[in-house]
Structure formats: C-alpha cells, structure tokens
Chains A and B, each alone.
Chain A
Amino acid sequence: MSIALVDVNAGRAAKRAPRVRLSELDVLESEAIHIMREVAAGCTTPALLFSGGKDSAVLLRLAEKAFRPGRFPFPLLHIDTGHNFPEVIEFRDWRAKELGERLIVRSVEDSIASGRAVEKPGQGRNSLQSVTLLDSIAELGLDACIGGARRDEEKARAKERIFSFRDSFGQWDPKNQRPELWDLYNTRVHPGENIRVFPISNWTELDVWQYIARENIALPSIYFAHQREVVRRPGGLLPVSHLVQPRAGEAVETLQLRFRTVGDMTCTCPVESGAATLQEIIDETARTRITERGATRMDDQTSEASMELRKKEGYF
C-alpha cells in the first residue's frame, strides 16, 4: 500500500475530501483481493491452485491480504506432474506449512498409472495436468479453482475472463463466454460445472516481479541466477536431470542461468542470466525482448495455437 496523502492536513473543513493516492500495484492488488473475496462469498467449494511458481506465490500473498487474520476459505491444490524441479516441491511444502493451510496434492503419475492419462513421447506433461485436474475437481466437488494465469502471457489467455466458466467436461468454449462487465462477477454454476478464477489477469510479468520485491515474497531458488548443466536442443536450453540426459553427440554445458517459469523439467527452458536478486530480475524483465512463454516453454512452441487447444481440453 502506498501512503501518499493528499490534503490530509487541510482537515475536514477543506473543500475537497482528503484521499489516499494509490499506485498501479495497489490498484491491481485491491482488485485481486476483491476477486478472492467474491469467490469466498459466491462459491461453495473453491480451491487455490498452487504450483510453487512465482504467480501462485503471489496468489498466496493476496489470499493472506484478503482473509487474514482468518483462515483461507479454501485449500491449496497442486497438480503434480512428477516432473517438477525438486527445489519447487520443497518450496511448495515449506510455504503451505508456514501458512498453516491445507495442501492437497494430486499426481499426474497416478493418472498415468490408472490409465486415465497417456503420455506422449517427447511432449512433456503440462497438457496431461488437465486430466488430473478435472479428476480432482470431480473427486473434491470443486466449483471454483483460483489460478495464477495472466492475460499478457499468451493470446488465448488474452480472451479469458476473470471468472472463466467451464462446462461439465471442464471445457473452455471461447465463443460462449459470459460477458464480464464492471467488477460484477457472475459466480453461479450448475452442479458439475465449475469456474476458473484468475485474480491476477490484469498483471504483467513486470508487475508480478515488482510486487514480489515490494512484498518480499519468498520464491524457489531456481528463479535466481545459478550454475546448471544444460544441453542445447532446438527450441532452447534444457536442464540435465534424471529425466533429461544428453543424447549421443550432445555436449553438456555448465552455464549461469535462471528460470522465468517453472513447470515440467523436460520442457521448461532456462534463460542465460546473471540476475541473482529481485532488483536485477526486475531490470532484466523490463529490458527483455522475448515473451515469457516464447523463451521458456517448448510445449507452447509446438504450434501457434497450443495453449488454446490445451485450454479447450480443460487446462488452467
């Protein structure tokens, strides 16, 4: 909250009422708090999707702002691909414990083992999350899932509502969205249907980083510059891990880098960077000439419309 006051000392006799001037981040923050509280008031069994990534770390801070000193009116839900960076999983568990809120984990491995999801070689597991998510929504009877997607990420996202309605198959129909006017959100659904809610829709990547710095929000270490072994593949650098081993003829390089998004280790590419502090990341983000997903998500490069297709299948 920024606290520049106008006219305060002029007191109550002033012609104009004193007022608080808010920065752009304050306005975005207040909008997100308002949205979370509308979910609490209008939905019966919501959950907050927490991946351990930076956007969902921001969501948790916003939930604290909306509901503390009370408890969150929803559990945290993680759809674990089984391909996550260990640093991210460690952070996820630590943060849930620190908040004292309930964390539910459902795993893509289980969906694969039970035959609900089928792995496509070389494609990563980001899209398989949809199956596990839809199954979890049914199992837990969720009518709303709060997510950290932003409209500036991708063009299918640009057309997304803040309260985005999904039918009983979890599908997003871009041609049949509810019009969203002013800040009046329609939270009503029939049994079996659900809503995805995106409180930080109007934030950009830079807003997110500025907010993280302002609020001192803890993040997994992989967002900051570090040394890591990688191989060069078409589409970007890939971190070497038990899941990604160098192919014949591929050289392993050790580079100074960081991740701009966290996701499936087999298709999330780091960028070369020396930015080791939040301020350095903000400066780098302000200067960068490549979009977040363009730089880091091989699965979004597969086709021009990858995100749109995944969303229609029930992706976040």
Chain B
Amino acid sequence: MATDRNQAAESDLLRFIAAGSVDDGKSTLIGRLLYDSKSIFEDQISALENTTRKRGQEGMDLSLLTDGLLAEREQGITIDVAYRYFATPRRKFIIADTPGHEQYTRNMVTGASTADLAIVLIDARKGVRTQSRRHAYLAHLLAVPHLVIAVNKMDAVDYAQPVFERIKADFSGFISELGARNVRYVPISALKGDMVVDRGENLDWYDGPTLLAVLESAEVATEGDNEAFRFPVQLVARPGGGRDQRGYLGRIESGTVAVGDKVTVLPAAISTSVTRIHTHDGDLQLASAPQSITLELEHEIDISRGDMIVHAASEPWGKSAPAITQTLEAHVCWLHEQPLDRRRPYLVKHTTRTVNALFEEIAYTVDVNTLERASDVSVLNMNDIAHVKLKLHRPLVCDSYEQNRPTGSFIVIDPASNATVAAGMIATD
C-alpha cells in the first residue's frame, strides 16, 4: 500500500504539554484546539452541551471537554496526567494534559519527559507570576526542545498590545537566565478563539503565527538526528527457533547503524562489527533511532540485557563515547508521598539496565518558585527537585541528559513497595 505509506510519512508526530496554574485557561485552550481543529465528535459535542446546560450555563463550555473521571468530579479535583490526541492535515499531536494543583511538579515532570514542546500559559490580566517561572524552569530542566509562552485572556485586556509586550519583556530576562532556546510568545484568547487555530480579528497588531501554526511547524528533533549511536540490549535471541546466530533485540535510542560498522559492547568494552540488521520485514543495510531491530555481530561475545552497543571510536560518529560509571550526579524529582530514606538502597532503572543504588549525597534542592538553592538538606519529599550523588552497585553506561535524553534519564524504584519514587536526569560533569 505505497500510497498510504506516503500519506503517513508526510504528517509526523508532535508531543506537547500545556502548563498553567489553576484558572489560567488550560482546559479551555485544549478544548479550543480540539474543537477548532474539528477533532471533536458529534456525540462529544452533544454530551458537552448537555453538561453545560445541567450546570445552568448556556452554549458549550469547552473546558468541560477535558473534564475528568467520576472520582475527580466527586472530589472536585483532577488527577494526574491525561493524554489526548488530535490531528490536522499537517501533523498528529499528543497532548499530555497535566492538572495545575499542588502535585504539579510531579505531574509536569512526567508529562514533560516525553514532550517535544511545552506551552506555558500566562493570564494577561495577572502577568508573569511565580508559577509561570516554575513551569518554564521545569520544561527547561526536562530539556523540552521548544517553549511557547501563550499569553491568554487577551480579550479581557481589550486585546491591548502593550499588555502583551510588557509580559514578554518581563519574562524574557528570566528565560535568558535559564538559557532556554527556541522560545516564542503568542497572544491568544482561548475563550474567544483568537490566534489559537484561527487568527480572529482582534489581534491585528500581532504578525507572528497562530498557536496551532507554531505547533504544526515546530521541528521535531528525533534522536535519529543525534549522531551518537546508542543501542541498549533488551533481549538476546539464542540460536535455534529459526535462528542460527545470536541476535540482540532492542531499540536504537539515538544515531544510526549500518551493516559493517565497527561497534563496541559496553561496559565490557569488547569490539566487533555488525554483520546483520534484522527485522520481521526483512534485513536492512541501515537503521536509525527510534527503530526496533535485531542486531547480529561478527564475534560470539557474552552479551546480555542491559549491555549497550555503541560505535567504536574508529568510526566517524564514534567519537562521543558514553561514560561508564559507578557514581552518578543527577537532578532528581521526587515523585512519591513517602520521602527518601537515605539508609535504604533503591533500584535505578536506566535504559534496559537496573542496578542497586544508594543516595550518597544531596548537594542541594532547588526551590522551583524562586530557583534558589538550599543545601544542608537530608530528606527529599514529593515534588522536590534536588541535585544528588548516587553510588551504584554495578556500572551504568550513560550520557548526560542534556546530550541524550534516552541514555541520560533514569527512574528510581523502591524495591520494598515497587513504586516508582523518583525521576533522574544525569548531569554534565
């Protein structure tokens, strides 16, 4: 079906997160994007009109589109991250919709971990607030490649250009302090629809793209563009079962590999070369992130899950070797109600390798509202962001998070409860 394939290839995928404090208009904005891009179905519209009417209002409250579960409505709260999907002829979008209450840091970190773009909402009437800085900081910490500052509720300030310009000037100092690149400002009214999907007639002084146009055109840097080849082994297929050679199953996390390439297996540091790249659809000469493949190698080497195959240093793109280390310096976000207990070992899951780890040192925590650092901290509570030093029972093969999101990130699991208690981003040393 060659034609379908081409159709699919033209529109790619953008994952984004919308961040805002309660009442900044995040639900209305997501509802607006879904509605104006005609991603809402008739049965959803009639349900929406019904619910709006039941609540004694007129028309259709778009914020109800993302209204959550029974458990949430009963308790008047929103839980956690919800994922929503819509498509335009240009692109498919996945929105990580995170609610704006106290557990915000935890949820936003979760949603931002896979995002290509973050929208930070600012209420035009209120201007830049502490939370706006927090949201931009978290997006930057998670290395979300694009940041869009959407100044919402422009209708409530008579669509006045000076209001927008003042907010932009207020915020850009902070943004450059962060060192964030790829930042854009868009004035919008989620309620009336101006500059979201359609330009509207009220913001003629703004000549930039609509919010949707920004979403449609933001360049998605896949890890395939990162030239360092990283292949964590997921599974080993033994000879037999239709195979006469050992195969190493996994997904390319970054870079590209070709048949004949010289590679090194880490952490053992044994060199060999790629003899075959196998998939169910046939053999390939070349494969790139994020393809799932099976590699066959020239030499019989003892390789197991958790090992990483990278280019040998002699290859043109093999210069940036990953670190092999038993200590990690990292930013972590504590995600669990039960605080960190430094006496106990935890499990660190990094790529396909899981090792025992001790939190040896908490260098400092970061106040996400002021960005001030506090040292002399001995415990981490839910939503805390800290710079820590971990001691590992066995070595990890890793890059810094800044260089490589997939090989620079890890989660921390409590072996007693099996809960995921923290998320980590490996620091550049």
A residues within 8 Å of B by Cβ? 1-2, 4-5, 8, 12-13, 16-31, 33-34, 37-38, 40-41, 64-66, 68-71, 151-152, 155-156, 158-159, 174-175, 177-184, 186, 188-190, 201-202, 204, 206-207, 210, 213-214, 216, 282, 288-291, 294-295, 304-305, 308-309
Contact = CB atoms under 8 A, between A and B. Distances in A.
Given A4-B9, A177-B80, A186-B411, A20 B286 contact: yes
A178 B420 contact: yes
A174 B349 contact: no
B406 A182 contact: yes
Interface in B28-81: 41-44, 47, 67-71, 79-81
A151 B83 contact: yes
B1 interface: yes
Given A182-B409, A183-B406, A294-B43, 18 more contacts: A20-B288, A21-B288, A22-B222, A25-B8, A26-B291, A30-B251, A33-B292, A177-B80, A184-B411, A186-B411, A201-B83, A210-B7, A213-B1, A291-B44, A294-B44, A304-B47, A304-B70, A308-B69
A171 B12 CA distance: 36
Nearest to B240: A70
7 A-B pairs closest in CB distance: A69-B242, A294-B43, A23-B9, A33-B292, A305-B70, A181-B113, A20-B288
A190 B417 CA distance: 8
A118 B394 CA distance: 53
The B contact surface, by secondary structure, is: mixed
B316 A30 contact: no
Contacts of A305: 69-70
* A183, A184, A304: residue with the most chain B Cβ atoms closer than 10 Å: A184
Contacts of A295: 43
13 contacts: A1-B279, A16-B227, A19-B256, A20-B291, A23-B12, A41-B305, A69-B242, A151-B84, A151-B85, A181-B113, A182-B113, A183-B406, A207-B92
B241 interface: yes
Interface residues of B, number: 79
* A70, A71, A308: residue with the most chain B Cβ atoms closer than 10 Å: A70
B249 interface: yes
Nearest to A204: B85
A285 B316 CA distance: 46
Contacts of A188: 413, 415, 418
A23 B8 contact: yes
A208 B113 CA distance: 25
B69 A202 contact: no
Contact of A181 (B42, B110, B251): B110
B267 interface: no
B335 interface: yes
A34 B233 CA distance: 11
* A40, A282, A304: residue with the most chain B Cβ atoms closer than 10 Å: A304
